């Protein structure tokens, strides 16, 4: 396991929004989506969603 990093949140990049929009269309309000490392368990090749779900905040 990698050492835990400081929790840093960020918005989606324009490329990530375009990719997500190609799959989900306008069903997601992309400006409200944040990306953050969960408990430092993810390496750079891992993606996760909260509780394995996509939802609104």
Ordered by start, the domain boundaries in the chain are 10-52
pLDDT at 57 over 60: no
Burial of 4 (0-12, 13-18, 19+ CB in 10 A): exposed
Strand partners, 11: 34
In this predicted model, what pLDDT tens digit does every residue of 3-31 receive, in sequence order? 555 657 889 999 999 999 999 999 999 99
Structure tokens at 19: 């990719």
Q: How far apart are the first and last CA of the chain?
A: 30
Among 18, 12, 6, smallest CA distance to 34 is for 12
Would you state the pLDDT for residue 19?
93
């Amino acid at each position: 396991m990698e050492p835990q990093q400081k929790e840093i949140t960020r918005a989606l990049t324009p490329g990530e929004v375009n990719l997500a929009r190609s799959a989900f269309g306008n069903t997601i309000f992309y400006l409200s989506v944040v990306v953050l490392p969960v408990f430092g368990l993810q390496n750079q090749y891992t993606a996760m969603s909260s509780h394995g779900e996509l939802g609104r905040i």
